[in-house]
Amino acid sequence: MSKRILITGAGRRLGKVLAEHYLAQGWQVVAHYNSANELVAHPALTCLQANLADSEDIRQLALKLPALGNFAAVIHNASCFVPDAAASDLIAHHEMHQRVHVLAPAMITEALSSVWNPAASMVCISDIYADIPNQRFSAYCAAKAGLQNFALSMAQRLAGRVRVNVIQPGPIQFLPEHDEAYRKKVLSQSLIGEELGYGAIVRACDYLLQAEAVTGSVMRVDGGRFVANRYDQTFTS
Ligand SMILES: NC(=O)c1ccc[n+]([C@@H]2O[C@H](COP(=O)([O-])OP(=O)(O)OC[C@H]3O[C@@H](n4cnc5c(N)ncnc54)[C@H](OP(=O)(O)O)[C@@H]3O)[C@@H](O)[C@H]2O)c1
């Protein structure tokens, strides 16, 4: 019987690459998606839609999970990344970020409490900006910091049953709206100086899913951006 993994935000970009990777490795993949699902149908793939900014959608998703069987792994990857300046309603802006990054992982973790496989593993995809202030994205940074702290609390609570770890990516793959000047500036503030690509995060997930001695850890996969000179954060794009 193959192992089952839940990946949130798996309809496109990194989450999709992770879903395809674990399907290719022979896992049963439960892929959560929000607005678009670019995954191709596969006999070992179950897709579940939910807007994780909506508490009722989170509740409905969580209710469906235990019925799918036991889980060996979860990757909390879903994320929204909206600058504060784009928010017309500050309450809605913060609630959206907190629901997607903290409430959804918390409710999913609660829902899976009786269906973990032995020696299961959870990975939360955070950001180096969970540990660095960024006044342009304060709601996002606060929510990623919340996710990270939640993960470490779960490492305590689930000890002996589920190992829980955090990955902090740096600039893994720019968004289409990031222009050339922005890309150059970000990469100039990293030690490796190259876009890392999704493979770097896939390999980090692979490591954490099988690293039987690693729990409650925070792994930076950021090309050295955290320790590079990054004093200039006054980007215009
Ligand atoms: N890309 C980078 O360079 C970078 C850097 C640091 C950290 N990270 C982190 O790495 C992870 C993957 O990065 P990425 O660039 O692939 O992320 P992304 O495209 O920004 O978002 C990941 C997924 O989250 C989903 N999502 C957004 N809002 C949602 C909502 N309200 N409800 C449910 N799902 C929602 C998106 O689906 P929809 O598009 O359908 O809404 C998307 O599939 C994320 O956790 C991100 O924060 C990425």
Query: pLDDT tens digits for 133-189?
Result: 999 999 999 999 999 999 999 999 999 999 999 999 988 888 888 899 989 988 888
Do 96 and 82 touch, CB atoms closer than 8 A? Answer: yes
Angle between helices 104-111 and 55-64 (to 10 degrees): 20
Task: Identify the pLDDT of residue 171.
Answer: 84
The per-residue pLDDT for range 186-202, each reduced to its tens digit, is: 888 889 988 899 999 99
Could you give the maximum distance between any two Cα atoms of the chain, in Å? 52
Calpha distance 94→82 (Å, rounded)? 10
Hey, which bits of the chain come out as E strands? 4-7, 28-33, 45-49, 71-76, 116-125, 162-169, 218-221
Residue 83 has which token pair?
A: 């600058």
Q: Which atom of ligand 1 is nearest to the CA of 36?
A: 40
Distance in Å, CA 13 to ligand 1 centroid: 8
Q: What is the DSSP string of 32-97?
A: EESS---PPP-TTEEEEE--TTSHHHHHHHHHHSGGG--EEEEEE-------GGG-S-HHHHHHHH
In the numeric block, the tokens 């009722």 are attached to 56
CATH code of the region 4-221: 3.40.50.720
- Looking at the predicted structure, is the pLDDT value of residue 233 above 70? no
- Supply the mean pLDDT for the chain: 95
For the chain, give every domain's residue range: 4-221
For ligand 1, atom 28, name the residue with the nearest CA: 80
Of 6, 7, 8, 14, best ligand 1 pocket probe by most atoms within 8 Å of the beta carbon: 14
Task: Identify the pLDDT of residue 235.
Answer: 56
Task: Identify the pLDDT of residue 177.
Answer: 87
For ligand 1, atom 47, name the residue with the nearest CA: 79
